[in-house]
Amino acid sequence: MLRYLIRRLLIAVPTVIVISIIVFGLLELAPGDPTSQVPLTVPAEVREAIRESLGVNDPFLQKWWNWAQLMMVNEPIHAFEHVTSICIPGSGADEAAKAAAQAADECAPRTRIISWSSRSDAMDTVYQRVPQTLWVLGLGLLFGFLLAVPVGTLQAYKQYSIFDNVGTIFTLLGYSVPVFVIGPLLIWLFSVKLGWLPTFYDTTLDVTWTSLSSVWEQVRQLLMPVTVLTLFNAASFGRFTRGSVLENLNQSYVRTARSKGLGEFPIVSKHVLRNSMIPVVTLLALQIPGIFAGAIITENVFRINGLGQLLLISIRQSDIPMVQSLVFIFAVLVVVFNILADVLYGILDPRIRYD
């Protein structure tokens, strides 16, 4: 297993590099100008100077190399220094800033990716949006998974029963009805008509876990978006769980276990369910990066300032550095969680060997 993991990690490095080239190249072809939001009264030579300072007119490979150094070296080092307060020697943004940081006993600042629209560090904006995304989309994925696995297993065990048929109907509805339909319906019912829940998600709410009123306000504004995402994720995971459990219930090892007198609950819970989790784990590994990518429609319906909404706003504003950073992060997360899924295969099914 260790050798396989090392091989996968070694393969992941050139994969990530190729992904970065593709992402950077595609977005280089997209329309966008860092001076698009500069007032029209600014002279043309000043605009050109801004473009030159940002390296817009540099050759493609040079621009990619500069961006890759910032994204793969400077940004991870900055995040590590910020979290651990351990300074790593390296080149700072400039000598004056370096000297000021040294005098204040802080880590030297590094050159970072700058957003064209906000003129601030792009990754700092990303870090600010992560908690909202994890709260809403993370809980939706977690509750959907916890609901789908037992329900899907019971549907397969009681195939063609009333419970299975009702579950299938709800699964189809949850998977086929779009968020932009069910979301406004929930807002109309619970916010407009009944007045029970807030209309939109308030990201400025300061949650104090020792205050019941603060916690209750957070729960109230989470109920509708989390419910929408839970239904969608439960429908996806439920379909996979039901199909996989049905396939394993007909395997010879189940008949052998029954012939030996083993009870139905141990057979399903310890043997069938464990072997049935492989396709579900695959889907989960692909869905987890979607937490960070954000459900763009859900975040816009409930006005959640998450990563999905940030990506959409950046695209509208032609903020190429921010879009490049977000898309690259999402792609890297897909690579990482695919490796984790492969590792989990060997844990769930002892028949799978990588050596």
The ranges assigned to domains in the chain are 2-103, 124-348
CB 116 within 8 A of CB 122: no
Q: Is the pLDDT of residue 32 over 80?
A: no
Q: What percent of the chain has pLDDT over 70?
A: 90
pLDDT digits (tens, 9 = 90+) for 133-166: 888 888 888 899 899 989 998 999 888 899 989 9
Report CA-CA distances (Å) from 184 to 132, 211, 220, 278, 301. 20, 30, 16, 35, 7
Could you say which DSSP state residue 121 is in? B
Question: Going by CATH, does the domain composed of 124-348 fall within 1.10.3720.10?
Answer: yes
- pLDDT over 70 at 101, yes or no: no
Mean pLDDT of the chain: 82
